[in-house]
Chains A and B, each alone.
Chain A
Amino acid sequence: MNAQVTAPHIGTTAPASNLLLAVDGVTVDFDGFKALNGFSLTLDRGTLRVLIGPNGAGKSTLCDTIIGRVRATSGRVIFKDQDITHLPEHEIVRRGICRKFQTPGVLPGLSVVDNLMIAAKRDRRWWASFRHGVAAEEKARVADILETIGLADRAAAPAGQLAHGEKQWLEIGMVVATRADLLLLDEPTAGMGPAETSQTAALIRRLVGRHTVLVIDHDMSFLEQLDARVTVMHQGQFLKEGSVAAIRADADVAAVYLGRAKENIHHG
């Protein structure tokens, strides 16, 4: 049902189609302002994709639409061959999509380990919360993730006491703990220094394969470390797709960013 086990299955039981997500001609209209305008995107299983674009290009709106926080005015979102456009948010998550928000969305009052335990719980229906005990498999998974995100020695600390970068890692850990097939990471390196940024890039690269990852970020050095295909958005529409090097060299992409810079100069 929900949360198909990600890692070992891929490759052994190859799915009929390698396509995991298809955003199909989605328009999101906020009272006349088209945050997304007939935007399409496909993601194959086990791949990494980076989404860039100037502010207001619609990157976060795209994530919001996939996860059900914002509803498409027209168009469809297809996940694992099923239309999820109109499902309730928690149902979309249970199908295997989880999102890291731009500002860290950890639960500040709960301990680091409780944050992860909540994310790792398989049966998320309310009546299951009355059952006692935690599955050994969930415990092992949480211990594993604590090691991976480097927070094993902070496990008992309230999440609110973590440094900003640690909160980002904890939230990435939570998103991974849900066993989602598709991880949406919105600005995972926001507020991080260069060292933390490279660690985050390494962490994300380790996730790819077991998970499909869509990253939104601006930081060029981070993109180079990720070394993934890049999709460029502009004004809610698709602009370009290619390798990091190709995108860097692209005249249209440069114009979009430069044009934005010029506008800023005019208005500034």
Chain B
Amino acid sequence: MDMSLRKNTPLSGLLPGITVGRPLVLTLAVVVLGVLAPWLVSAYELNLLARFLAMALLAMGLVLVWGQGGVLSLGQGVFFGLGGYAIAMHMKLAALADGELPDFMVWSGLDALPWWWVPFKSPLVAILGVVLVPGALAALFSWAVFRRRVGGVYFALITQALALAFATLLISQQPSTGGFNGLTDFQTLMGVELGTPAAAHGLYWLTLALVVGVFVTLRALMASRYGLLLRAIRDGENRIRFLGYDPTPFKVVAFTIGAVLAGLAGALFTLHAGVVSPALVGVVPSIEMVIWVAVGGRNSLAGAIAGTLAVNLAKDGVSSAFPDLWLYALGLVFVLVVTLLPGGLAGLVADAGAAGWGKRLKTLIIGEAK
């Protein structure tokens, strides 16, 4: 598959709608609706929305890494998982009295806390760990790989292997990781009782605020000289190298930002869902993450958020009605998007704005008119 190599028109689908006037009003309206959501939807729906918005943080990171940087990562689940486990470990420890061990360790016959659990007693370490552990791992890993000029499909395969290895490791180290079941049953976070409506609302707003903040920051980054160079490296790495730039650090920075956002997403998701487990971090979830962004539009931050919400809402609907069908449906959606809509939903909106819906639909059905 040449997804990572494919050059779609890079700027046309970029951030449709945040330029001026009506789109800005629309964006603000969406944000206001988002802020008011706790009073507009049920507690169950709010929890779903909160999870999806957490995932949207990861998806926006993929816009930078994959859309702008041309680096397809099939291992974002690893960084998502590192963030999730970092906060989950802290919450497990915070619920214990001194000298006690988490229940699953006791059942597995451990008599002391593994050394790498110890620092996570501190809430500060846990919160820093949410961003620093995925960030540091991503920086080291991507630097080692990009420096050797490994890219494209090979990079995608290495990241997929990383996701497989990470999930396998978590399952195999059951006594210290909770194994297949992962970590669950959290009570408090920094003294705040989880599971109350107030905590749910607070965590939801925190997630929403981060989504807005990351959206604005990444948008500025993409418009900066750094963003321009990242796209230039995507389109002609050698030309850029022979203009005197070292492409490696540009790509490492993008990949690291993507990993930090994935870690943040994993931690927030864990708080909303009340569980983190290997099923959320392996190969299949990592590919799903790429599909959210493919559906939304890999060069559009707004598209990535929309794609994440749309695919996950569909997943929630389809997998509760027909659990076996979900992966087939997802695969079908992916094939359709890649073949018919390389710019994703964002590309569709941008084209519709330019050409009108009728023409776009005609193009979709009977092909390009030219």
Contact = CB atoms under 8 A, between A and B. Distances in A.
25 contacts: A89-B242, A90-B241, A90-B242, A93-B242, A93-B243, A93-B244, A98-B242, A99-B242, A106-B239, A107-B232, A108-B7, A108-B235, A109-B10, A109-B231, A110-B228, A110-B232, A118-B232, A118-B240, A118-B243, A124-B245, A124-B246, A126-B249, A129-B224, A130-B226, A132-B224
A89 B248 CA distance: 12
Interface residues of A, number: 31
B238 interface: yes
B225 interface: yes
Nearest to A120: B243
A107 B235 contact: yes
A105 B239 contact: yes
A82 interface: no
Contacts of B250: 126, 129
Nearest to A175: B243
A126 B253 contact: yes
Interface in A104-134: 105-110, 114, 117-119, 121, 124, 126, 129-132, 134
Nearest to B250: A126
Interface residues of B, number: 25
A67 interface: yes
Contacts of B236: 105-108
B71 interface: no
Interface string A196-235: 0000000000000000000000000000000000000000
Which 8 A-B pairs have CB atoms at the shortest separation, nearest pair first?
A: A93-B244, A126-B249, A129-B226, A105-B239, A109-B10, A129-B225, A90-B246, A124-B244
A110 B224 CA distance: 14
A107 B9 contact: no
Given A89-B242, A124-B245, 16 more contacts: A93-B243, A99-B242, A105-B242, A106-B236, A108-B7, A114-B228, A118-B229, A124-B244, A126-B226, A126-B253, A129-B225, A129-B226, A129-B229, A174-B243, A178-B243, A178-B244
